[in-house]
Copies of this chain bind each other. A is one copy, B any other.
Amino acid sequence: MLITVDLSNPKPVYLQITDAVRSAIAHGSLQPGDRLPAIRETAVQTRVNRNTVGRAYLELEHQGLVRARQGSGFYVTDDGTERERALRQEDLDGQVRDLVADARLSNTSTERLLEMVRECAETLDRGDDHE
């Protein structure tokens, strides 16, 4: 798994790191029992301070996705994959609720909203093809 960090991105660096790890867990490139890249290693590779990487890993531990083993490293928990998917689904559900509510507030019909989502997805697809 590869972790990339963009310092010009307004998203905090530690969140960029947790997102990268979470994506790897969601995609299966990191599975229950797998070890995360060492903090030092990730710090060197991303040119980020070790404390920042440590904080990102600690955050993942708080979410129950990984577990630290003294002197050994961070490992994806047994139910890490499930938890990750559940968390992600919750986030997406919340976003959809917010979007639908805001569309109401701006007098945008459900049909128009669905169209906007479809168009946006297609634009992204076309962009992906070219990359």
Point out residues on A near B: beta carbons under 8 Å: 8, 10, 12, 19, 23, 26-27, 33, 62, 67, 69-72, 78, 85, 88-89, 91-93, 95-108, 110, 113-114, 116-118, 120-121, 124
Copies of this chain present in the complex amount to: 4
Which chain B positions have C-beta within 8 A of A105? 19, 23, 26, 88
Given contacts A26-B106, A104-B124, A105-B23, A117 and B99 within 8 Å (CB-CB): yes
Bound CA–CA A24/B30 (angstroms): 38
Asked if B124 contacts A100 (CB within 8 A), the reply is yes
**What residue in chain B is nearest A33 (Cβ atoms)?**
B8
Asked if A92 contacts B108 (CB within 8 A), the reply is yes
**How close is A69's CB to chain B, nearest CB, in angstroms?**
6
Asked if A116 contacts B93 (CB within 8 A), the reply is yes
Bound CA–CA A105/B26 (angstroms): 9
The 8 Å CB contact of A117, one of B12, B88, B113, B124, is B113
